[in-house]
Amino acid sequence: MTIQTAVLIETLTALGAEVRWCSCNIFSTQDHAAAAIARDSAAVFAWKGETLEEYWWCTEKALDWGPGGGPDLIVDDGGDATLLIHEGVKAEEEYERSGKLPNPNETENAEFRIVLSIIKEGLLIDPKRYTRMKDRLVGVSEETTTGVKRLYQMHANGTLLFPAININDSVTKSKFDNLYGCRHSLPDGLMRATDVMIAGKIAVVCGYGDVGKGCAAALKAAGARVIVTEIDPICALQALMEGIPVFTLEDMVAEADIFVTTTGNKDIIMVSHMKQMKNNAIVCNIGHFDNEIDMLGLETYPGIKRITIKPQTDRWIFPETNRGIIVLAEGRLMNLGCATGHPSFVMSCSFTNQVIAQLELWKERGSGKYEKKVYVLPKHLDEKVASLHLGKLGAKLTKLTPDQAAYISVPVEGPYKPPHYRY
């Protein structure tokens, strides 16, 4: 819930939607934006510094439209609203079949225990709530790499309950928000949190996808000596072509000053790595969830001492060495926890995609065009999003002649690239 999402809410409201909103991260809310929207436009369940229990309470409340039912559409970021509905439906089906309630103690994941507890409590009040919600839903549009991964997993195993549009893989999202947005907001978060001089430092960027590319470019431009870790030989080769060495984390863990995880995977930096880091090494994450960094292992390490320097900036001291590491935003999105996230212009590209996706889903409701699958917006809409943003930057596009268009087999007005084109 940021200033940028506030404008998205106002846009959806102006288009006729009734909106209920929650945050996608416990540290991401800008309270002044949430207060303004709650006053003027929509019901908002979000504040900066939520506990995990509060976060999931907010998510549940945003989905609660009362006896009249709802929602019809979901704008998701990270897939937590989608997850809650799917887990709720699964629990309701099991309850109807066997009378068995979810048992939160059956999972070792502390956050998922909270999800199951919420669903369990709801089942005792209304055992068909999520089923009715699922039946009413027209679809979801998902913003993030992490949330999209969840959608594709559900589609692959046949459990996706409603149509989904993958916003993340629109070119005007992934190649702009993920790349240029992170290039802007990573150093912003680092400097607000630590005031560290980046120049001259050794910085390890874990992952060289679009997010990692933006982070590496920012750190390199600030004078850091950047190292990339990668599993993908293509991404690794791209880093090398930019003059960025590629090593394993184990190669660099005792030498680097700054560590940034960007992978969207789990267990990237473990407590065994953090023990080996130099004194006051900075560890942070700009992937969506907090499981890229082993925060549980750090919090439960015997004798570990935590000193809060300021909100979302903590020094963790290991008892054996008396060396400390600085962890930002408790391993969650540091650019939102320690700063204000991506700037408005690049988020306008992403949220224009979201609005177009919502309009498309609603327009085609009942037509059968969208099944219980994951879709990407067509190329002509991607180009439209880009076109809408060119004027602000003073750009003038060259126009194809009919002969030129025929020569390369594209329409004069586009789209200009085939779906498989890699920008």
For residues 24 and 29, give the distance between their C-alpha atoms in angstroms, rounded to a whole number. Answer: 8
**Residue 189 assigned to a binding site:** no
**Residue 279 assigned to a binding site:** no
**Residue 342 assigned to a binding site:** yes
Q: Which residues pair with 314 in a beta bridge?
A: 308, 327
- Mean pLDDT of all residues in 208-229: 99
CATH 3.40.50.1480 domain extents, the chain: 3-169+343-381
**Residue 79 assigned to a binding site:** no
**Residue 143 assigned to a binding site:** yes
Look up tokens 């704008």; give the residue.
Answer: 75
**Residue 212 assigned to a binding site:** yes
Would you state the pLDDT for residue 70? 81
Would you state the pLDDT for residue 117? 98
Would you state the pLDDT for residue 60? 97
**Residue 68 assigned to a binding site:** no
Stated pTM of the model = 0.94
For residues 113 and 118, give the distance between their C-alpha atoms in angstroms, rounded to a whole number. Answer: 9
Confidence of residue 67 (pLDDT cuts 50, 70, 90): confident
Would you state the pLDDT for residue 355? 98
Smallest Cα–Cα separation from 281: which of 202, 182, 195, 224? 202
**Residue 80 assigned to a binding site:** no
> Strand, helix or coil at 97?
helix
Instruction: Give percent above pLDDT 90 in the chain.
Output: 97
* DSSP secondary structure letter of residue 242: T
**Residue 145 assigned to a binding site:** yes
Does 213 have pLDDT greater than 90? Answer: yes
**Residue 13 assigned to a binding site:** no
Q: What share of the chain is helix, strand, coil (3-state, %, to 5)?
A: 50, 15, 40
Confidence of residue 129 (pLDDT cuts 50, 70, 90): very high
**Residue 2 assigned to a binding site:** yes
Burial class of residue 368, CB neighbours in 10 A (0-12, 13-18, 19+): exposed
Burial class of residue 226, CB neighbours in 10 A (0-12, 13-18, 19+): buried
Confidence of residue 28 (pLDDT cuts 50, 70, 90): very high
- The distance from CA 345 to its chain's CA centroid, rounded to whole angstroms, is 18
- Mean pLDDT of all residues in 224-251: 99
* DSSP secondary structure letter of residue 176: I
- Mean pLDDT of all residues in 76-102: 97
Q: Please, are residues 230 and 207 in contact by the beta-carbon 8 Å criterion?
A: yes
**Residue 287 assigned to a binding site:** yes
CATH 3.40.50.280 fits 182-338, yes or no: no
Confidence of residue 296 (pLDDT cuts 50, 70, 90): very high
Q: Please, are residues 166 and 142 in contact by the beta-carbon 8 Å criterion?
A: yes
Does 68 have pLDDT greater than 80? Answer: no
Per-residue model confidence as pLDDT tens digits over 238-288: 999 999 999 999 999 999 999 999 999 999 999 999 999 999 999 999 998
**Residue 373 assigned to a binding site:** no
Confidence of residue 164 (pLDDT cuts 50, 70, 90): very high
- Mean pLDDT of all residues in 2-8: 97
Burial class of residue 231, CB neighbours in 10 A (0-12, 13-18, 19+): exposed
Contacts of 57 (CB under 8 A, 6+ apart): 45, 118
Query: What DSSP assignment string belongs to 70-127?
Result: --SEEEESSSHHHHHHHHHHHHHHHHHHH-PPP-GGG-S-HHHHHHHHHHHHHHHH-T
Q: Which residues pair with 284 in a beta bridge?
A: 260
Per-residue model confidence as pLDDT tens digits over 354-396: 999 999 999 999 999 999 999 999 999 999 999 999 999 999 9
**Residue 303 assigned to a binding site:** no
Confidence of residue 289 (pLDDT cuts 50, 70, 90): confident
| Superfamily for domain range 3-169+343-381 | Adenosylhomocysteinase-like (3.40.50.1480)
Return the structure tokens found at 153: 């997993």
**Residue 341 assigned to a binding site:** no
For residues 306 and 314, give the distance between their C-alpha atoms in angstroms, rounded to a whole number. Answer: 7
- Mean pLDDT of all residues in 147-162: 98
Burial class of residue 343, CB neighbours in 10 A (0-12, 13-18, 19+): middle
Per-residue model confidence as pLDDT tens digits over 312-369: 999 999 999 999 999 999 999 999 999 999 999 999 999 999 999 999 999 999 999 9
Would you state the pLDDT for residue 372? 98
Rg, C-alpha atoms of the chain: 23
Look up tokens 């919090």; give the residue.
Answer: 299
Return the structure tokens found at 304: 């570990």
For residues 337 and 188, give the distance between their C-alpha atoms in angstroms, rounded to a whole number. Answer: 11
**Residue 5 assigned to a binding site:** no
**Residue 210 assigned to a binding site:** yes
What's the whole-number average pLDDT of the chain? 97
Which H or E element spans position 101? none
For residues 183 and 178, give the distance between their C-alpha atoms in angstroms, rounded to a whole number. Answer: 8
**Residue 308 assigned to a binding site:** no
**Residue 77 assigned to a binding site:** yes
Would you state the pLDDT for residue 285? 98
Confidence of residue 69 (pLDDT cuts 50, 70, 90): confident
Instruction: Give percent above pLDDT 70 in the chain.
Output: 100
CATH 3.40.50.720 domain extents, the chain: 182-338
Angle at 118 between CA 3 and CA 120, to 5 degrees: 160
Would you state the pLDDT for residue 274? 99
For 181, how many CA atoms within 13 A lie in the half-sphere containing its CB? 26
**Residue 146 assigned to a binding site:** yes
Confidence of residue 180 (pLDDT cuts 50, 70, 90): very high
Would you state the pLDDT for residue 1? 94
For residues 351 and 12, give the distance between their C-alpha atoms in angstroms, rounded to a whole number. Answer: 10
At residue 303, φ and ψ (nearest 5 deg) are 80, 5
